[in-house]
Structures are given as C-alpha cells and as structure tokens.
Chains A and B, each alone.
Chain A
C-alpha cells in the first residue's frame, strides 16, 4: 500500500525465564502511514515498550523476537542483517527513550553524543556534525546551543535532556520516530511543552511518529490513530476520533472513563478493578476477562478473535455497541 511506512504482522516476542518462555508481545499487528502519528497505549506490563524495541531489533536476552514480519518501507527488518539494522537505526528510524538521564553517557559531552548520530551514518566531518547539532538544539528551544555542546549530561535538567534526545532523533531527518513514554519521567509542566514541540517538529519534518504511552490524554491531543494494548495484544485500534468517541472494547472504555473529566465533576472517578496480569500469570481465554464487567463463560474459555470493521479492529466477544459513546 502506498503511504504505508511501517507494517507489523504477527509480532511475537518472548522472554526466556527460568521456567519457560513468556510472551511479552503476543501476536501484534500495526500499521503506520508516512507522516502519521500513532499512539500505542497500554498500562505498564502490557508489552508496549517491548513492541517498540522489537521493531528496531533491540530486544536483548533473555528476550527474543520469535515470529512476525516488520516491513519498513517495504523491507522486512526481521530478515535484515545486524549491519543493515544499524544503518537504519538513528538514520531512518530514530528512538527516544523514557529516562533521559540514563540514556546519555555521563562521561561524554552532549555535543559528541549528538554528533555521533550524524557521523556514524557517514555524515561528513566533525565540525559539520556539531554545527547541525547546535542548530537542532536551537530548534528545540535550547538557547546558547553552541556553548551547550561542550557540556555534560548532568549539567542539564530533565526537561532539557529530553529535548536533546528529541533534537538528536531529528538530526538525520528520519522517516519514523519511536518515542517511548518520553514525557513520563518529566514534570507535568514540562510535559505539555515537550508534547507541543514534538508535534510541531514531526509535522514540519514529515516524520511518522509512534508515541508509546499509558496516558490517553496525550494520545487524544497528539495522535491521528491509536492502538490499545493489553497483555501483549492489540485489543482495539482505529482512528483517534473513532476509538475515543466510540470505543468497542471494554478496556478502552475503562481507560477513557478513568480520565478525569469536567462534565462529570463531583462524581466518583471510575477505576478498572484489578491489575494487569503479570507476564507469568496470563489466564486462558481473554486476558481481560478477570477485570471485565461484561465477561461471560465464553470469555474465560476462548480467546477472542480479531474483528475488523470499517477501518477499526478490536478483539472482544461482547464488544460495546456502536454509538455507545459518552
């Protein structure tokens, strides 16, 4: 399909633990079109971060990607060599991690760490790379960029470090950026700023964006399409408007309901009972059944297949009716 930048089919990633292999990503399908923003939503433990790493081949032992196709601009990344993947990473596909403190090497300067993103992909000489880095820092709103380049990570605040990460990701004008909860570790006030900047920059450069988060409000603001993950599977996916206005899966509904809302001020804030299943305790049948109020015997016994309907997908035996909007 033209316009489709990334197509993931049947992705399966397991972790080899002492007592067996447990699937963190259990048959995931995703698509991202060029220039589109996809929000990948889920609680912690849902497998969303592992999905991100699996796409670029950065799953380390004891994890292993054991099945699926990851087509990026027509090329199957799972069949690519280590060197080919390396070439793509940081150049065509960039990543932004969650904790900016841990992701920058404390003993090397910011300038060096930014420049290497350019230099390692054959981008000319050091001076040119540093100039690009300075310019990129300016674009994300860091002043006195040139002086900043010779500073070290611990001299930057959390918000600034994340801006550095964003600037670095954009250096080689990638086609796809995978951002893994980039604002979670930051102050609420900074979050908004970063979000805004990311959105602007993504639109400006035409890069597609996969935004991994547990926060639906972010998705609502930022994304074109959304995929909701639960226990390693996509339980619902579609355009943001469709899914958020009229969710078909009870989990999505639950997530939406637990977001504080002006209209229901004063009412008790609904929460989804229970907790997401841990890696080793996934129940048979639908993974969400233990927490679902609509669950029936069938749900507990049988894994719901995927239903595709008018550009949307969901997995549920008893989906919410259409028009069941708030």
Chain B
C-alpha cells in the first residue's frame, strides 16, 4: 500500500508540473504576457516595476522558474479589478463553492445509491424502466436552463424558496458557512439540487448497472445456495462490490462538480469561485483566470490522488497487488 501511495504521489506531482508548464506557456509564451498580467490602466512606471518583479524581461525558462517560485509562495498574481492577490480572492470564495458542491454530492450519492439499487435489482420491472427513463432526462437537461426552470417553478410561481444568492452564514473556525442556518439552507437547496441532478442521473445508472451485474454473478448464486437471507445479499455482498466503482466515480465527479458549479453559480448568483471565474473572464481580469486554473488543477489532482488511495483501501485485490487493478 505504501509503495502504491508513493507512486501515485509522484505521478500527481508530475501532472501538476505539466499543468503549470501548459499554463505558463499559454500565458507567457503565446501572446503578450505584459498585456495579460499588467493592468491596462497602470502607468509606465508601475508597468516597468511589474515587469521587473514578474521577471518579464528574463529569458523564458527563467521566467518559468520565477513563476513556479512565486506560485509555491502563494503568489499567483494580483487581480486587476479588485486589486488584491488573486489567491486571497479565490480562497475567500472557496467555502461558498464547497458547501454547494458538498451538498450536491451528498444529494447525488444519498439518493442515487438507493434509487440505483432499486432499479438494478429487477431491470425488467416498471419501476426500473421509469427510473432509467428519468436518468436520461436528468443528463439531457441543459444545466443552465434547468436551473432557470427550478427558479421559475419554486421561487417565482410557488414562492417557496428565494430566487438567488447565498443565505445567512455562520463563522466556524474562521470559515463562513451557510449550511448551519435555516436561511442559509433555504438558499442552498435549489442550486445544490441543480448541481446534483446530472450527477445523480449518472450515479443511478452506474449503481443500477453495477447491481444488475453483481446480481448475475456466481457469488450471489452461491450465497443463495448457502441460505443467506436476501437482505444480506443485497446490502453486504452486492453493495460492497458496487461501492468500489461508486467511490471512484464520486471522486472524479467531484472535480466535475466544481467545474459545473460555474454555471449554477452564475444562474443562482451564488458568490463562489465559479462565479468569480466567469466575472473575471468578462472583466478581462486575467491574473485571476490564471490563478484559478492553477488552483483548480491542484484541486483535481489532489482529489484524484485521494480517490485512488481510497479505492486501494476498499478493494483488497489492489492493495495486495501493489498496483492498480
């Protein structure tokens, strides 16, 4: 297990490095880095100062080293629009995005697994067909439009929930979260639901397929031949087997959720990282975009790493072989 973990860690570092090179080249190599990184309204003096500090007059490879050096010290540039270090800004918006993503993931998994199990246990049943049909709708609905329709129905027509924005927050250990207030939750539900639906559709399909497949396996028949109760067969034998692919998907989808939150946050005016990204693209606040990419990449890489390690922990065949199945 330790060797496997180390292997994966090294791989992750390489991916991060590769990403940093790509971003670096895109910003400093192609196009005019001065354009991108220096605010348009800067005076000639400020520009010269910035050029010197960012090392824009150095040869390309040296610039890369400066870039990496700065990055490791948490300096990913300064936002044009807000004037504060990009990292600070993004990190301040992180909790908002996180609570959205976490709730969405919880809904997708919490509802997806049982519904998927129900659909997979008897694929010929009416219930199963309806569920599977529902999932096609779930992943066909365009994300942004679905969000708007949710607002239309629940906020405008029914008036049950607020139309946009984040609710009242509470400070825990320096982080602000709206998960713990009723008002906060009322604001969270619609965007979390919007974010959750396509993922839930995917989860249901995955679990249903896995369940149907597991059910047909010999070990299920053997368990029945041993006289094991049906309940235990489903919840111990089958569930344990499908948890493995589910965990993997959850991990992968985590990154996807963070990405798709850009859309949901835009539609629901949710003050998270995603909205920040969109706004910065509009406002041509390029350092922020660059910082976002680097941060997002680090996040995805870490999550992938964690998922692989978790996978190894769950599947004994991987653990003992020392390398991924």
Confirm or deny: A12 has a beta carbon within 8 angstroms of a beta carbon on chain B. no
Query: Which residue of the partner chain B has the closest CB to A99?
Result: B218
Could you tell me the distance in whole angstroms from the C-beta of A120 to the nearest C-beta in chain B?
Answer: 5
Confirm or deny: A106 has a beta carbon within 8 angstroms of a beta carbon on chain B. yes
Q: Is the CB of A89 within 8 A of B227?
A: yes
Query: Which residue of the partner chain B has the closest CB to A108?
Result: B240
Confirm or deny: A88 has a beta carbon within 8 angstroms of a beta carbon on chain B. yes
Q: A120-B228, A121-B227, A152-B317 are in contact. Are A103 and B222 (CB under 8 A)?
A: yes
Q: Is the CB of B219 within 8 A of A103?
A: yes
Could you tell me the distance in whole angstroms from the C-beta of A149 to the nearest C-beta in chain B?
Answer: 14
Q: A104 to B241, alpha carbons, bound, how many Å?
A: 12
Name the one of B217, B227, B240, B241 contacting A117, with C-beta atoms under 8 angstroms: B227
Could you tell me the distance in whole angstroms from the C-beta of A129 to the nearest C-beta in chain B?
Answer: 12
Q: Is the CB of A91 within 8 A of B317?
A: no
Confirm or deny: B226 has a beta carbon within 8 angstroms of a beta carbon on chain A. yes
Q: Is the CB of B227 within 8 A of A155?
A: no
Stretch of B57-65, B82-90, B98-106, B229-237 at the chain-chain interface: B229-237
A102: chain B residues within 8 A (beta carbon): 217-219
Name the one of A90, A103, A107 contacting B244, with C-beta atoms under 8 angstroms: A107
Main secondary structure of the interface of B (DSSP, over half): helix
Determine which residue in B223, B227, B229, B237 has the highest number of CB atoms from chain A within 10 A of its CB, and name it: B227
Q: Is the CB of B316 within 8 A of A90?
A: no
Could you tell me the distance in whole angstroms from the C-beta of B231 to the nearest C-beta in chain A?
Answer: 10
Q: A116-B232, A120-B232 are in contact. Are A106 and B222 (CB under 8 A)?
A: no
Query: Which residue of the partner chain A has the closest CB to B225?
Result: A95
Could you tell me the distance in whole angstroms from the C-beta of A212 to the nearest C-beta in chain B?
Answer: 14
Confirm or deny: B315 has a beta carbon within 8 angstroms of a beta carbon on chain A. yes
Please report the total number of B residues contacting A with Cβ < 8 Å: 24
Confirm or deny: A30 has a beta carbon within 8 angstroms of a beta carbon on chain B. no
B315: chain A residues within 8 A (beta carbon): 107
Q: A86 to B236, alpha carbons, bound, how many Å?
A: 17
B236: chain A residues within 8 A (beta carbon): 108
Residues 70-101 of chain B: 1 if any A CB is under 8 Å from the residue's CB, otherwise 0?
A: 00000000000000000000000000000000
Confirm or deny: B52 has a beta carbon within 8 angstroms of a beta carbon on chain A. no
Q: A97 to B218, alpha carbons, bound, how many Å?
A: 9
Q: A168 to B228, alpha carbons, bound, how many Å?
A: 13
Confirm or deny: B221 has a beta carbon within 8 angstroms of a beta carbon on chain A. yes
A154: chain B residues within 8 A (beta carbon): 316-317, 320
Q: Is the CB of B218 within 8 A of A106?
A: no
Q: List 5 A-B contacts (CB under 8 A).
A: A86-B230, A105-B241, A107-B244, A116-B228, A121-B227
- Taking A89-B227, A103-B221, A106-B219 as given, write out 10 further A-B residue pairs in contact, using a Cβ cutoff of 8 Å, ordered by the A residue number: A58-B225, A60-B221, A87-B227, A99-B218, A102-B219, A107-B314, A107-B316, A108-B237, A152-B316, A152-B317
